[in-house]
């Protein structure tokens, strides 16, 4: 068989590449000769992926619950993949930044719509039983969810809204603000008013990591990047729309879909509240109570007052 000029030229280029590194091309060609063809299942680690569902009970619907959480965590990972690239830019590029935010918005749109898998997809009776075997674990302990927030905005916007006014801009450390982070309010035991075990365990594992991330993101969070681009005098219409979309998707639409699940499975019977470890979720989860807003200056006072009310969703539709 003739070796074409095209192939020869590639071999020469390879020889150049390997000899520059003091390597012997023929050894690498041997490696190529013996290597197996790549398969789909090896490439995406399919066997490992499909082996990661280990229910704690024999209720069939528990597998749905596990897999949908895993799917969500993968979407969170995709979102972080984009947010990290935005934060890593030395000189923020408007088009690059806008496109990456639009990607995150697409991921959260998918998550918001697919939450029906939870809301309609499990038998309530099964859920209420298998959930008891999972205590005190809760999606509340999703660190990736908190990391997305840390990448998305300045840390002050994650301080509980009732304490935010006590922190003057630029005068307080992340560690000081972290003591008043909004999510603590969602992990209070109804019976005693004390911190839940769910929160204790989460803090033990993740507080340091989250504080470190926030400290390293003081300048690289999305709000700061937006302000930098604004200062450059660029036309920011598309970026602003993307940021408003992100704010709405992460802080209103996804939380509302999630809240729908909590209502569907946990509301009504006071006994059911036990299934959450007895937290005050009804007072905590609705976005209109939390009022988490990543980009306050991009909303009117009226829009902020009405945060989490249905019209916000209807009018803007997550765009
Ligand atoms: C039947 C389905 C679900 C129900 C009934 C439910 C219920 C709850 C409840 C009651 C809380 C408040 C904290 C607590 O009491 O533990 C919570 C928090 C949370 N859950 Fe779920 N959840 C469901 C599915 C999911 C899924 C699929 C995810 C995806 C990762 C998730 C992520 C979260 C997050 C991130 C929080 C914290 C929210 C915040 O701090 O604002 N949940 N969930």
Q: Given this model, what pLDDT does residue 86 score?
A: 97
Given this model, what pLDDT does residue 274 score? 56
Distance CA 221, CA 86 (A): 8
Point out the ligand 1 atom lying closest to the alpha carbon of residue 73: 30
Ligand 1: centre distance to CA 142 (Å) = 9
DSSP 288-314: HHH---S-GGGS-HHHHHTTTSHHHHH
Alpha-carbon distance 128 to 72, whole Å?
21
pLDDT in tens, 249-261: 999 999 999 999 9
What is the SS3 assignment for 19?
helix
CB-neighbour burial class of residue 83 (10 A; exposed 0-12, middle 13-18, buried 19+): buried
Show Cβ contacts of residue 181 under 8 Å, excluding neighbours closer than 6 positions.
158, 159, 160
The residue-averaged pLDDT of 127-141 equals 95
Average pLDDT over residues 212-229: 95
pTM for this predicted structure: 0.92
Banded pLDDT at 267 (limits 50, 70, 90): confident
Burial of residue 3 (number of CB atoms within 10 Å: 0-12, 13-18, 19+): exposed
**pLDDT, tens digit, 9 for 90 and up, residues 146-205:** 999 999 999 999 999 999 999 987 789 999 999 999 999 888 887 787 889 999 999 999
Q: What is the pLDDT of residue 224?
A: 96
> Which residue's alpha carbon is at the smallest distance from atom 4 of ligand 1?
262
Pocket of ligand 1 (CB under 6 A): 68-69, 72, 118, 127, 138-140, 142, 145, 183, 186, 198, 258, 261-262, 265-266, 276-277, 279, 281, 285
Nearest CA to ligand 1 atom 26: 69
Longest dimension (CA), the chain: 82
Across the range 219-235, mean pLDDT stands at 94
pLDDT at 316 exceeding the cut of 50: no
pLDDT at 319: 40
**To test ligand 1's pocket by mutation, which of 121, 132, 140 has the most ligand atoms within 8 angstroms of CB?**
140
């Amino acid at each position: 068989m003739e070796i074409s000029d095209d192939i020869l030229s590639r071999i020469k280029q390879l020889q150049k590449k390997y000899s520059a590194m003091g390597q012997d091309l023929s050894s690498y060609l041997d490696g190529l000769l013996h290597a197996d063809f790549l398969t789909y299942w090896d490439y995406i680690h399919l066997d490992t992926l499909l082996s990661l569902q280990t229910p704690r009970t024999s209720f069939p619907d528990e597998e749905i619950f596990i897999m949908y959480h895993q799917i969500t965590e993968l979407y969170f990972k995709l979102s972080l993949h984009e947010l990290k690239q935005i934060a890593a830019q030395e000189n923020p590029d408007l088009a690059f930044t806008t496109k990456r935010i639009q990607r995150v918005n697409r991921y959260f749109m998918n998550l918001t719509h697919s939450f029906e898998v939870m809301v309609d997809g499990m038998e309530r009776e099964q859920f209420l039983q298998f959930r008891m075997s999972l205590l005190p674990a809760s999606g509340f302990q999703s660190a990736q969810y908190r990391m997305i927030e840390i990448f998305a905005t300045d840390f002050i916007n994650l301080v509980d809204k009732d304490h935010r006014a006590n922190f003057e801009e630029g005068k307080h450390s992340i560690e000081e603000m972290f003591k008043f982070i909004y999510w603590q309010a969602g992990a209070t035991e109804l019976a005693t008013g004390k911190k839940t075990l769910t929160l204790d365990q989460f803090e033990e594992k993740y507080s340091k990591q989250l504080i470190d991330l926030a400290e390293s993101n003081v300048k690289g969070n999305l709000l700061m990047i937006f302000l930098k681009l604004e200062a450059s005098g660029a036309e920011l219409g598309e970026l602003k729309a993307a940021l408003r979309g992100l704010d709405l998707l992460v802080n209103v639409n996804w939380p509302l879909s999630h809240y729908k699940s909590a209502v569907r499975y946990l509301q009504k019977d006071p006994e059911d509240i036990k299934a959450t470890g007895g937290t005050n979720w009804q007072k905590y989860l609705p976005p209109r109570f939390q009022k988490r807003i990543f980009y306050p200056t991009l909303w009117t006072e009226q829009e902020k007052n009405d945060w989490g009310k249905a019209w916000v969703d209807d009018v803007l539709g997550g765009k």
